[in-house]
Structures are given as C-alpha cells and as structure tokens.
Amino acid sequence: MPVKPYAPTKTPTSGQRHLMNRMGCGYSRSTFTQMRAAGSPRNWFEQQLDPSSVKESARARDLSSWFPDLRESPSTKWQKQEDGTKLAWSYAADLGSYSMMRRVYSRRQVLETMVDFWSNALHVHAGTDLAWVHRSSYDDLLRRHALGRFDDLLVEATLHPAMLLYLDNWRSTRRAPNENHGRELLELHTVGRSAGYSEQMVKDSAKILSGYTVDTFASWQPFYSGSRHATGPVTVLGFSAANSSRDGAELAREYLRYLARHPLTAQNIARKLARYFVSDNPSAKLIGDLAKVFTASGTDIKATLRALVAHPEFKAARGTLVRTPVEDFVATCRVLQVVAEKPTSNASFARAAIWVPKATLLYQWPRPDGAPTGDAAWASASRMLSSFRMHWNLIGGWWPRQQVDYRSGGSWLPKRKLRFDEYVDHLCRMMLGKPSTPRILSAAVVATGCSPKTQITKSHAVATSLHVRLIGVLLDSPDHMRR
Amino acid sequence: MTTTPPSPGCCAEFESASRLSRRRLLQGMAAATGAGVATSVFGDAFRQTAFAATAGGNVLVVISLRGGIDGLGMVVPHADPAYYTARPSIAVPRESLVAQDAFYGLHPQLAPLEWLFTSGELAAVQAVGLQVPNRSHFSAMEEIEDADPGSAERRGWVNRMIGLDGEDDPTDAIHLTSSIVPTMLSGLEPAVAVSRIGDVALVGADDGDKAEWASRRRRQLDLMWKGGSGGVHGAYRSAVRTVDKLSPVARSTYAPLVAYPRVWPAIGLSDALQDTAQLIKADVGTEVVSIDYGSWDMHNDYGTLAWGDMQRMIGGFATTLDAFMRDLGDLRSRVTVVTISEFGRRVKENGNRGLDHGWGNMMLVAGGGVKGGAYYGSWPGLGSGDQVDDDLQVTTDYRNVLGEVITRRFPDRSIAGVFPGLPYAPVNLMH
C-alpha cells in the first residue's frame, strides 16, 4: 500500500531518534525540538552531559513540591510508619512515581536515564525493611553523581545510610562483621563474581566496612563507631592493610576508591553500560573499549558515555532493545503528550504512575542485583498483554484519569481535513518519530476499516471512536515496544 | 520416554520434541492420526481437540505464604514443652488442636481441613526450609524459588520443571494473584502471570468488542508483528497463543459446586483458587498454578485463638482451601496442593505478642498422591541446645518435599533437572 507522506510534520533522522530513545527516556516532539535547537545531535548530547546548562521545564521544576512527604526526615518517616499515618510502601510509591514523572517531563533526559542506570547498578530497594527511610536522599545522591566520577559515586553510595541499612552493614559488629554488604560490594557493585575473590576476601571486605552504621530506631543518622570496627590485617584482590586502628573510616574510603579503579570494575561497569545502552549480548570488543576509557579517564562517567555514543556498535544497534514496562510507560506518556497536574490524592495521575506499568514497581526489585533489562526479563506474553492494555488506557485517557490532561483524538489532526493515509503518516511521525510504511498503513486500514483516501475531519470516527484503535496500531508495535 | 514421530515431516515442532511428556505425545498422535486435523496441526481446532483428548494431566498448585508464616503455630508440636515455655501469651493450647497425634496437632482454625487429614489427603511436614538460615524476606524468597544455589542464572524451579516437558506452551505454568512473574516461574520458558484468569485478554479484541472489531484488531496486530523471531516477536506470539487458549476459559462464567468464602482476608486466595478450579475443569493442560497468600509477617498482633492476625489468616486459608478441594470433587486425585514460605519465625515470642524472623518452617501437602493423615519430618527439638540462633532448625531441605511431589506426580521430569545438585532424599509422603 503506497504511503502518501504528510511532509509538514518533520521527523528526526534515525540517528537523532536513536539518541533520544537510548540515551534519553524516549523520543518526543519537545526533545526533538530541543535537539534541533542544539544544532546537532552531538551538541545536544554535550549539553545533556552538563545538566545544569539545560533549562528545566516548569513542570519538572515543580515535581519536587508535588511529593512533599519525600522530603521529611528519616525519623519523621519512621514515626509516621509506626503510628500508621503513612506506611513504607506509600513512601516507596511516592519515590517511584516522582521518578517516573521526572523521566516524562525533565528536559535533562540523559541525567534521568543515568539515574535509572545507577539506581539498578547500585540498587537499594525503596520499600524494604529499614532502608526505605533514607531512600529518597539516596536518590538525591545518585542524581548528584550520575554524570560525575564512579569512584566518588561508589564511596558515597556505599557509605550512605540507605545502603548500610539495605545490605546490613549497620548490624556489623567487631566480633561478627555482617558479610552481606562486603560480598555484594565485590559481586555487584565493583569487580564482579568472575574476579575470583575468596571467601576470606569477602570476610575481609566486611571487616573493612564494619564501623559504618546507623542510629536505627532513634535519630536514624549514620555514624562511625570505632567499637564496631573489626580490626586486623586484610587483603582483598591486591588491596592490603594492617587495619590496626579502631578508626577504620578512612581505610574503608581508600578500599572503595581502590575497588572503583580496579580493572575488573571497569569491565563490569562497561558491561552493564553496554547491556543497558547497546545490546543484550554486547561484544567483548565494545566492553573492552569502554573499560579502557573508563580507566584512562579516572572512572569519568561522561568520558565513558561519550565513547559509548561514538562507538560503531552503538550506532549500528538501532531499535533493538526491548523497553522495560517503566520505560514503555514513560515513552508512551511522552509521545502522547500527557500532561499531569499537581496530585491531590493517590488516584491522581502523578501519584498513581508507579502502578500503571503493571510490573515490578520502580526501585522495588526484590534482590540487590537491580532490576533487569533485556528480552529475557521483559519479552514475555503477560508483559505484552499488559503493555498493550496500558497503551490503550493512556491513549484513551481511561486510567489514571484524575488531575491529568490527555489529548483528544481530534486534537491530533494537523489540519481541518486530510486523507487517511496522510493522517496515518502524520501520526507515525508524532508517535514513532518516523514516516509511515506500507505495512503500517495496511494495518491502520485493517484496524479502522478506512480506505487510504477517506477524508478525515474532527468529527470522523477515526478522530473519535476509532482513535484508540488507530493509535494502538502504532504503539502496540515492535517499533514502540523497543528502543 | 521416546517415540518415533508418527509420520515423517509431520511437523518440525513435533520432531524436535524428543523429550516427550505424555501430554505432548498424545498431542502429537492426535495431530498424526486424528481425522481432519493433520492439515492444520497448530490451528485452534487442533488445540481444542488435542486438549480434549488428553484429559487427565496432573496439576501442582503452589501456595506461597508470603511474609514468613509461623510454622509452629500452624503445625503445633504440643508434646514439646519448650514450645509453651517460649510463648507464654500466644501459644496454641493443646486441647484446642485438631487432627492431633501424640506429638503434633493443627491450629484450630484449620478445622475446615480436618476431613482431608482424616481421609488421608492432607499431610504436614515440620522443620523444613533452606539449608542455611536466611532471614531476609527478599533474598530468602529468591533463594527458595530459584532453588539452584550453584548458578548465577535467575531461573526458578517451576520454570525448569515446565522446561522439561518438551514444549514451550506459555500456559504450562500460570501465576495468579499478580501480574508479576514470581521468581519460581521466571526464566527461559514462557510462563504467564495474571491477577485473574479474566485478565488474559487482548485489549481491543476483548469480550466487550464487537466481533468485527475484534477480528480487525487481531489481523492488524498479526500484520504489524509478522516476521521477526525471538525477543518481542516471540513474546507477541506467546501472548496470542495464551489468549487463544485461555480466553474461552477467561470469558466463561464459572459456577463452582460449592460457595467460596468472600470475606477478607481470603478474597484474593478465594478468587485465585476459583480460577484454578476453573482451569483444571477446563483441562487446558496447565501443569503448575502458583498463588500468593500473605502477609504472614507478624512481628506484632500475632494474637491468640480469640483475636489477632494469625487466627484470622489461617481461617481464611482453611475455609478457602476447603471450598477448593470440595469444588474439585473427583478431580482432586489429579491435583496436589503444596504450601511454601520463605522462612519460619522465632521460637520465642517478642515483646509485642508477635514473632520475629526465624528459620525452620512447615509445609502442607494435600490432594492427589499424598499419604495423608500423618506428620512428617524429623523433629529437632526446641530445647536451648537444639535451636540455632533461637530458631527451629531445618532437618528437611524443602526441595526434597517439592522434589518428591514432582517425581511422583510428573515422573517424566528429572529431579536433577528441576533441583540441580540436590542430594535427593524423599520424605516418603507421596504414594
């Protein structure tokens, strides 16, 4: 079926679209405009790497005030949970919804993407046991360092009370250092299991970290306790120390910086970046190339991302990664230009957001290894059925429907009257960022029963009762389900 | 079991399925010999025929009692005085216990299930769990459901189990009560997770859609997803297969033979078990149904027989399972129900009339193939020298209970395939 283009609706090049979909939270008209204003995709990316240089959207600036409870002190949060005023799950839901709204509305798209990346690479469950009281300040920390240097990030994240609570380091005592954190630090956050560290090294890792604890069930403030620090010689993968002082605070920092700069950490972070941004099965060459830059730059995250974006394997891998349900939600809101308003209840769009993707709640993956990406986790039957339903709910504005503006079907018409095939082409450009294809046009014809020549106006069924079916063709498609 | 494909080139999928389950074999034979179906082997008509022709597959229902149930309060060791010493205000009095033997008895709220115990269809195992204590909800659940301690791959035991049946039907294992696939079902083999069976539906080609629009929607999607392999394309095909297979069930109104409880806290469990009964009666070939029922994380307000969360939650469980088992009628002989929980709770009660996280726990096994009316497991004692960090010791690896159920009810699945590296030692609770 030959496509009749609707040329006035400009589209990004496939390279521009790729950059928005991979390094940002998904193609949108506003990011396309932003990219064009930057002069070139390269300029846009450079601006994005310096988020403070990018003027934030008004809505994104307001978001923090939409979720005031997140700013309460840890002891207030705990007290509210104790007296039943507001429970841990509700704070966790707030953080998830807040983060999803940021991804939809922020103009600092690369920052938001990297916050997601680090939130999983250095995962702290937002609703679990005790860590939840500090989870929103942990999010602030990840934001501060997301585009900085990994060694700084690792030190701060490891010693943050949220992480100390999540991985039990706060329980460590001089006689019985809790090995949970010491192990995950090696396995998940730095060198990886293939580094071949011994059980003794895990114990030494725990010894080094012991002493960093939290004043639980009281002020909830982190503090260093020399009496909880396990002294005695330690050796972990080439890092050795006599560790004779009761004050091991600085030793732990040295150890963390050592691990951050370890060549196997470079490999591990490079692999995670390559999986997140390039392919479920990245090549050894890509991982090696990124690891080299990571190490040579002193664990500079920006330098590593520049190398990633310039890499031929990144450029070649267009539209091949499955979107996670959360990414799908964000990308869908962006193309549909859904406008959330300040929430007034849990049913408001901005606060209900976390429940909409119908998958593991954002920042609530049940294990310390962080939520997965890729086909193995997300290319499943139930996921497809639930994402299709989510698309229709959002296209139709059916749920969540409070404190939100959805665009009506008729509002998408670019002029008073045009042919169906032109309209489909226009919608493709708006929703997918590219012109229609004969296949898409045929599917649109099948879905609506229109002929390509049918004249569409605001009162036509295609702009009213069939609107959801038509947009459904575009969003329930491989093009939109992948990035 | 091996077999020769009935006719050469009948279908590649059949030929490749060299490891055949009985069901798969019958499906293949129906394809080869059934009049008029050989030409559209994988069309809907064939499916209906094949499934109708292969009635009688066994079903495993796994109920996850999430939050860490107090096994000592469910299956009470009334003859161990240390139990009563440790719980001055919340112990279950001996005289109230049902289905008593000389050592154990069941919480009185389990009375609705006593008939199953008496008829030999309900057994309990004490002191089961993970080999090494893990008192974190999240990581203990992961460990229990992954059940492959030697491997970094995140793949659950149910996923491995359905992977051994020689086919990749996404409805082999279904999780109800939430749309998130739990760890035990996660992995290579497609599996379905939905809150209700009624959720298995393709938006736009649904109950409420007129036939013409539903048909247009399906054709539109098939067109958009044509070609491509693996990844999202494979997922799309799995999704429509699931819908084709389950939507007749999902759309039909189910009329159970008995009334299920409709009161909190059992509504979710009640919905899920009704859906399960419906699936079993429709005989769509699902082998494993997974259901969540919780939370059992009773750090406080555990309560007594007169009040509190424990008696209320057990009551919901027992009345609902009772309805399910009665509703199944004779089909019960095909269905085995197993309960599991990530850990047991402390022996000693805390200052809030509750119980903190512990280790050893109980499991209930009911239905087809169970040597019921008995208590199993080796009791480690609750004396001060017998507890580990104040917890009930584990004397039976939970995998051996599951392993025995699988071995007896699904004899074509290898225990080493489902629980790699397990030193298999059955408890002898199954016929």
Q: Which residues pair with A456 in a beta bridge?
A: A418
Residue B371 to chain A, least CA–CA distance (Å):
36
pLDDT digits (tens, 9 = 90+) for A402-450: 999 999 999 999 999 999 999 999 999 999 999 999 999 999 999 999 9
Residue A185 to chain B, least CA–CA distance (Å):
16
Residue with tokens 């002082």: A245
Residue B175 to chain A, least CA–CA distance (Å):
10
- For range A280-288, the mean pLDDT: 97
A132 or A378, greater pLDDT: A132
CB of B285 closer than 8 Å to CB of B169: yes
- Per-residue pLDDT at B50 exceeds 90: no
pLDDT on residue B206: 87
Structure tokens at B372: 């019921």
For B180, the closest of A359, A391, A392 (CB atoms) is A359
A109 or B163, greater pLDDT: A109
For chain B, the C-alpha Rg in angstroms (whole number) is 23
pLDDT on residue A366: 75
Q: Of the spans A171-175, B20-24, B46-50, which averages the highest pLDDT? A: A171-175
- Per-residue pLDDT at B4 exceeds 50: no
Residues of chain A above pLDDT 70, percent: 100
> Residue A136's closest CA among A79, A71, A77?
A71
pLDDT on residue B424: 97
Q: In which band, very low, low, confident or very high, does the pLDDT at B188 lie, cut at 50, 70 and 90?
A: confident
pLDDT digits (tens, 9 = 90+) for A93-127: 999 999 999 999 999 999 999 999 999 999 999 99
Q: Dihedral sign for Cα A367, A372, A375, A381, please.
A: positive
CB contact under 8 Å between A443 and B193, yes or no, is no
pLDDT on residue B342: 94
pLDDT on residue B297: 85
Residue A195 to chain B, least CA–CA distance (Å):
14
B195 or A243, greater pLDDT: A243
CB contact under 8 Å between B179 and A358, yes or no, is yes
**Mean pLDDT across chain B, nearest whole number?**
85
Alpha helices in B61-113 (DSSP H): 71-74, 81-86
- Per-residue pLDDT at A7 exceeds 80: yes
pLDDT on residue B385: 86
Size of interface A-B (CB pairs under 8 A): 117
Q: Of the spans B18-22, B248-252, B324-328, which averages the highest pLDDT? A: B324-328
- Per-residue pLDDT at B2 exceeds 80: no
- For range A189-207, the mean pLDDT: 92
On chain A, the residues whose CB falls within 8 A of the CB of B203 are 385, 388-389, 391-392, 472
- Beta-carbon contacts of residue A140 (< 8 Å; ≥ 6 apart): none
- Per-residue pLDDT at B33 exceeds 80: no
For B179, the closest of A372, A386, A443 (CB atoms) is A386
- Beta-carbon contacts of residue A84 (< 8 Å; ≥ 6 apart): none
The alpha carbon of residue A184 and the mean position of all alpha carbons in its chain are separated, in whole angstroms, by 21
Question: What Å distances lie between residue B30 and A48, A367, B6, B23, B24, CA to CA?
Answer: 61, 44, 10, 11, 10
pTM of the full structure: 0.83
Note whether B135 contacts A: Cβ–Cβ < 8 A. Answer: no
pLDDT on residue A380: 83
Phi, psi of A67 (to 5 degrees): -125, 60
pLDDT digits (tens, 9 = 90+) for A388-397: 999 999 999 9
A180 or A15, greater pLDDT: A15
- Per-residue pLDDT at B156 exceeds 80: yes
**Mean pLDDT across chain A, nearest whole number?**
96
pLDDT on residue A62: 97
Q: Dihedral sign for Cα A28, A32, A34, A38, please.
A: positive
- Per-residue pLDDT at A385 exceeds 80: yes
Q: In which band, very low, low, confident or very high, does the pLDDT at A22 lie, cut at 50, 70 and 90?
A: very high
Cα angle value A308/A311/A313 (rounded, 5°): 105
pLDDT on residue B362: 98
pLDDT on residue B352: 77
- Per-residue pLDDT at A58 exceeds 60: yes
**Ordered DSSP codes for A436-469:** --HHHHHHHHHHH---TT-EE-TTSGGGTTTHHH
- Per-residue pLDDT at A193 exceeds 70: yes
- Per-residue pLDDT at B66 exceeds 70: yes
- Per-residue pLDDT at B364 exceeds 60: yes
pLDDT digits (tens, 9 = 90+) for A147-167: 999 999 999 999 999 999 999
Question: What Å distances lie between residue A171 and A88, A175, B157, B387, CA to CA?
Answer: 21, 11, 32, 22
- For range B389-397, the mean pLDDT: 93
A411 DSSP assignment: G
Residue B426 to chain A, least CA–CA distance (Å):
30
Note whether B115 contacts A: Cβ–Cβ < 8 A. Answer: no
Question: What Å distances lie between residue A326 and A157, A271, B34, CA to CA?
Answer: 24, 22, 46
Question: What Å distances lie between residue B220 and A29, A440, A472, B386, CA to CA?
Answer: 26, 9, 10, 65
CB contact under 8 Å between A446 and B220, yes or no, is yes
- Per-residue pLDDT at A170 exceeds 60: yes
Note whether B190 contacts A: Cβ–Cβ < 8 A. Answer: yes
CB contact under 8 Å between A469 and B217, yes or no, is yes
CB of A270 closer than 8 Å to CB of A294: yes
CA-nearest residue to B218 within chain A is A447
> Residue A233's closest CA among A185, A198, A201?
A201
Residues in A lying within 8 Å of B, measured between beta carbons: 125, 128-129, 193, 322, 358-360, 366-368, 372, 375-377, 379-386, 388-389, 391-392, 439-440, 442-444, 446-449, 468-469, 472-473, 476-478, 481-482
For B234, the closest of A368, A379, A469 (CB atoms) is A379
A185 DSSP assignment: I
Cis peptide before A194 (omega within 30 of 0): no
Note whether B235 contacts A: Cβ–Cβ < 8 A. Answer: yes
Note whether B193 contacts A: Cβ–Cβ < 8 A. Answer: yes
**Ordered DSSP codes for B302-338:** ---SSSSHHHHHHHHHHHHHHHHHHHHGGGGGGEEEE
CB of B175 closer than 8 Å to CB of B185: yes
For B235, the closest of A381, A449, A469 (CB atoms) is A381
Task: Return the minimum-mean-pLDDT range out of A407-416, B99-108, B201-210.
Answer: B201-210
On chain A, the residues whose CB falls within 8 A of the CB of B225 are 477-478
Structure tokens at A104: 């939809």
On chain A, the residues whose CB falls within 8 A of the CB of B154 are 372
Q: Rounded to whole angstroms, how far apart are CA atoms B329 and B189?
A: 31
- For range A253-274, the mean pLDDT: 98
CB of A349 closer than 8 Å to CB of A404: yes
Task: Return the minimum-mean-pLDDT range out of A107-121, A469-483, B224-238.
Answer: B224-238
Secondary structure of residue A358 in the 3-state scheme: coil
ipTM confidence: 0.96
Secondary structure of residue B176 in the 3-state scheme: coil
Task: Return the minimum-mean-pLDDT range out of A324-328, A365-369, B216-220, B397-401.
Answer: A365-369
CB contact under 8 Å between A473 and B220, yes or no, is yes
> Residue A380's closest CA among B175, B301, B157, B372?
B175
pLDDT on residue B39: 26
On chain A, the residues whose CB falls within 8 A of the CB of B202 are 385, 388
- Per-residue pLDDT at B207 exceeds 60: yes
Q: Rounded to whole angstroms, how far apart are CA atoms A125 and A47?
A: 31
CA-nearest residue to B205 within chain A is A469
Residue B180 to chain A, least CA–CA distance (Å):
5
Q: In which band, very low, low, confident or very high, does the pLDDT at B52 lie, cut at 50, 70 and 90?
A: very low
Question: What Å distances lie between residue B232 and A323, A478, B238, CA to CA?
Answer: 10, 7, 10
CB contact under 8 Å between A380 and B190, yes or no, is yes
The alpha carbon of residue A174 and the mean position of all alpha carbons in its chain are separated, in whole angstroms, by 37
Q: Rounded to whole angstroms, how far apart are CA atoms B408 and B50?
A: 24
Structure tokens at B400: 């051996």
